[in-house]
Amino acid sequence: MKRVLLAAGLLLAGCQAAPGPTAAASCSLPAATVLEQSGDPHGANGRLLQVWEIADDPALWGEGTPVSEGYRDFLSKVVATGIETDPVKLLQASPATGNLKINNDLVVSRAAEWIRPAGCFEKYLVGYQHARIDTFVAPTEFMAMVLRSADGARLRIYFYTINQDGIGRVSPVSEPALADVKQGWRVVLGMHTHAFHPGQPMLDGILAPSIADADFNANFSESGGMQSAWITNGIHTVRIPAEAFGLFRRE
């Protein structure tokens, strides 16, 4: 199965210029506008806040393979290491207890509805972060916030990371997004990573919100109108609609 994934990736990469009618189109993003940057981009102190503003591109939301050396390398390492990627098996392997387990179990019960192979957008950003810091050397998180213009034609995509295995306060992303909402933009989705942590089942690519994630989702749905919360590990993504945020334990 994993070999098939890699072969499909190579195949798609080979026909980027003219994907056939049945091939998922490839995607990429242009250079971003850097808002804040400090530290070593490839080191543990590398902080980056940037934004892309682009015309919406349907290829981002398909399942094509991104134009991304970073993603190609990430995928080759997933295959080479032979790690477990089945999102339900990963959730079931977690030793989480209490409310965290309740949240994990909720996603397992809705997996058929909420979990899909990662889309081109998620794969592009995972590749982007993997090129900053190799996932299999030091797993790190990033957060992205996607807003759509009032006329529906344009996207604003914030990207934030501190090159750590967590993102800390999310205000560097949520505050500009709230300012945009006041200007008529809508928060389509907030996405962050739960990277693979081979050998650490509590953290290993877990596609369910942590308690803090669930609390943020509910709060930001209320204050910013966030419509969906996505968590990706680069192979699969859970996409939780705002209507379901209230089902998760928040403390």
Q: Looking at beta carbons only, is 65 or 221 nearer to Zn ion?
A: 221
Q: How far is the CB of 109 from Zn ion (least distance, A)?
A: 19
Q: Which amino acid, residue 207?
A: L
Binding mask 172-191 for Zn ion (x = CB under 5 A): --------------------
* Contact residue for Zn ion among 210, 217, 232, 233 (CB under 5 A): 210
Stretch in the footprint of Zn ion (CB under 5 A) among 8-16, 45-53, 207-215, 242-250: 207-215
Stretch in the footprint of Zn ion (CB under 5 A) among 62-70, 113-121, 164-172, 211-219: 211-219
Q: Residue 36 has which token pair?
A: 């804040």
* Contact residue for Zn ion among 213, 214, 228, 242 (CB under 5 A): 213
Alpha carbon distance 234, 251 (integer Å): 27
Longest dimension (CA), the chain: 50
Q: How far is the CB of 236 from Zn ion (least distance, A)?
A: 15
Nearest residue to Zn ion, by Cβ distance, number only: 213
Contact 34, 52 (CB under 8 A): no
Q: How far is the CB of 210 from Zn ion (least distance, A)?
A: 5
Helix (H) / strand (E) containing 128: helix 120-132
Q: Looking at beta carbons only, is 2 or 110 nearer to Zn ion?
A: 110
CA angle, residues 100, 104, 106, in degrees to nearest 5: 115
Q: How far is the CB of 166 from Zn ion (least distance, A)?
A: 8
Alpha carbon distance 125, 71 (integer Å): 8
Q: How far is CA 197 from CA 121, 122, 138, 243, in A?
A: 22, 18, 9, 30
Q: Does 193 bind Zn ion (CB under 5 A)?
A: no
- The binding site for Zn ion (CB under 5 A) comprises 210, 213
